[in-house]
Structure 1
């Protein structure tokens, strides 16, 4: 009993030392933050990443650097982030195709698209639009279908890569319409759009954000938009439903993910910055002008969305016999 006060003092000192150790840890972020993008500069994912990086840098008081790592359908970028320290200094700006990786590459990747990442928030959405270039100078979806059916397997469509959202959207379309086309995968949307304008490929089921400037300038032609309603940015372009292809829908999300195990306070701070980003009028205007809508689904809802998409895309790949090329 006489020793109890000493034990109490020792215990109290231990608590004080532990508290001092916690308080001595530097506040996050104490250095620049890196956002890895799995596509080349200039595409919609890169555009969203850079807009968010500018906003986040002002909010966090540290530089936020965008690091483009294109290739292997964003697997290289995702792998870099999955293997990075879970300290909040290396993040992934992912897109819809992130949930398509298990359907095509499950046995080849060194990470799990669900378990290796902590979902932070989605940042933007963009509908898919069927665009054609000079190699296919037509104005309507009906004319497109007529030409494609007249030359089975000869007409081409460009995508940002095998297993990308554009690849799945295109394959879904060909199944619905009973058509056959030749898939030309690229290492990002920017390269695909360049060749579409140059006439090297016939068409692309592209995110609106990746082709809007070219559509507005007349360098490309939009035949239909995969959205419930017409886009206010393309009021004269019908939806696929209006143009006669029933039950076809496709959109793309862009969102922020961190390595699994990232501390909860860091994730909470990132989510706060992401929500500020999507609510800012400058963000809304900028993204809308690029064919996107600011949209923030954070934490558990975002995680549930990822789980649902992995399940659905795996089933779709099986049904459509989609394979990595």
Structure 2
């Protein structure tokens, strides 16, 4: 009995030590600055969300969260860097919707799996897509835009943040639904695309509202329709695509936090708490709403299921559209 009791005590003590070790690990992280990679250049909506979260996490967790912009190859460079980084929580990815579009277009090029190479932390924000035009296409209604595009098939150009980006898919889907033809001009980020749109180098863009809201409000760009189930409270006079006759056309963009697969569960738990606090904070909601975004907080398995579902759906869409990268 004594020997049995001693074994039980030893097992209990070992379990307690293991639990304490995990707790110490969680409390110890982060013990140094955390690198947050963004696959787009500075100034775009993904970068804006990344910097807002980094500021919150730095204050909440007591270590700097440093945003590292690594644009190129439709965010493949940034995603690849995070997928191959040590799974210790010190290298993270602030991804966006185009992350789940990568397999549909770059399966032969990428060295990672968009789902299995990452641990889903949480989604942080969402933004609808809006059709905007610049000075090279001075129309004021969607009807006039559609008439101009159909009058010159293949002559008008639209800008996107990159080949295979959410804007690319949204634009190609639109041309399929409306039977139109336009030239695709890919950029390395939303900020550059918006700059050239305002400068008249391209005619239009199916952009996330967060990337063009300021320019629309200042009158530098004209919003013609919103790809969402209902009108945006920030653009109450801009109709939805459903209202102007393009039925079933919606295109939301999400922004979320991903870590390398096999990142310790206790580190992921700390990150998810920080992400949830960020999304629920009134200051965050107010800031993102002013930028054309809403907070979103889907974490862990729920976020992972969303990624898996989108990879499948975008693969099917790419095949139906015969969508290829340049």
Match of 2:139 in 1: 138
Q: How many residues align?
A: 325
**2:39 is the alignment partner of 1:74:** no
- Is the contact between residue 123 and residue 296 of structure 2 (CA under 8 Å) also seen in structure 1? yes
Match of 1:37 in 2: 38
Match of 1:126 in 2: 127
Match of 1:65 in 2: 66
Match of 1:28 in 2: 29
TM-score by length of 2: 0.94
- Is the contact between residue 96 and residue 253 of structure 2 (CA under 8 Å) also seen in structure 1? yes
Relative distance call for 1:205 and 1:27 in structure 2 (3 A) is: same
The whole-number CA distance in structure 2 between the counterparts of 1:312 and 1:22 is 38
Any idea what the Cα deviations from partners look like across 1:194-218, whole Å, max 9, x if unmatched?
A: 0000000000000000000000000
List aligned pairs for 1:187-226, cutoff 5 A.
187-226=188-227
Q: CA deviation at 1:27?
A: 1.1
Q: CA deviation at 1:187?
A: 0.1
The whole-number CA distance in structure 1 between the counterparts of 2:215 and 2:6 is 77
The whole-number CA distance in structure 1 between the counterparts of 2:199 and 2:17 is 67
Any idea what the Cα deviations from partners look like across 1:259-295, whole Å, max 9, x if unmatched?
A: 0000111111111111100110000000000000011
Relative distance call for 1:120 and 1:15 in structure 2 (3 A) is: closer
Match of 1:275 in 2: 276
The whole-number CA distance in structure 2 between the counterparts of 1:15 and 1:299 is 26
Q: CA deviation at 1:244?
A: 1.3
Relative distance call for 1:15 and 1:166 in structure 2 (3 A) is: closer
List aligned pairs for 1:257-268, cutoff 5 A.
257-268=258-269
SS in 2 for 1:130: strand
List gaps (5 residues or longer) in structure 2.
none
Relative distance call for 1:131 and 1:13 in structure 2 (3 A) is: closer
The whole-number CA distance in structure 1 between the counterparts of 2:113 and 2:215 is 36
Relative distance call for 1:237 and 1:273 in structure 2 (3 A) is: same
The whole-number CA distance in structure 2 between the counterparts of 1:12 and 1:239 is 61
Match of 1:54 in 2: 55
List gaps (5 residues or longer) in structure 1.
none
Relative distance call for 1:210 and 1:24 in structure 2 (3 A) is: closer
Q: CA deviation at 1:131?
A: 0.2
Relative distance call for 1:19 and 1:227 in structure 2 (3 A) is: closer
- Is the contact between residue 22 and residue 266 of structure 2 (CA under 8 Å) also seen in structure 1? no
Q: CA deviation at 1:95?
A: 0.1
Relative distance call for 1:5 and 1:278 in structure 2 (3 A) is: closer
Runs of 4+ in 1 over 3 A off after TM superposition: 3-26
Any idea what the Cα deviations from partners look like across 1:52-81, whole Å, max 9, x if unmatched?
A: 000001110111100000000000000000
Moved more, 7-16 or 222-231: 7-16
Match of 1:182 in 2: 183
Relative distance call for 1:69 and 1:7 in structure 2 (3 A) is: same
Relative distance call for 1:30 and 1:244 in structure 2 (3 A) is: same
The whole-number CA distance in structure 2 between the counterparts of 1:272 and 1:8 is 35
The whole-number CA distance in structure 1 between the counterparts of 2:281 and 2:227 is 26
The root-mean-square deviation of aligned C-alpha atoms, in Å, is: 2.2
Match of 1:113 in 2: 114
The whole-number CA distance in structure 2 between the counterparts of 1:170 and 1:24 is 49
The whole-number CA distance in structure 2 between the counterparts of 1:14 and 1:273 is 30
The whole-number CA distance in structure 2 between the counterparts of 1:167 and 1:227 is 17
- Is the contact between residue 39 and residue 78 of structure 2 (CA under 8 Å) also seen in structure 1? yes
Q: CA deviation at 1:154?
A: 0.7
SS in 1 for 2:119: strand
Relative distance call for 1:279 and 1:155 in structure 2 (3 A) is: same
**2:100 is the alignment partner of 1:99:** yes
Match of 2:254 in 1: 253
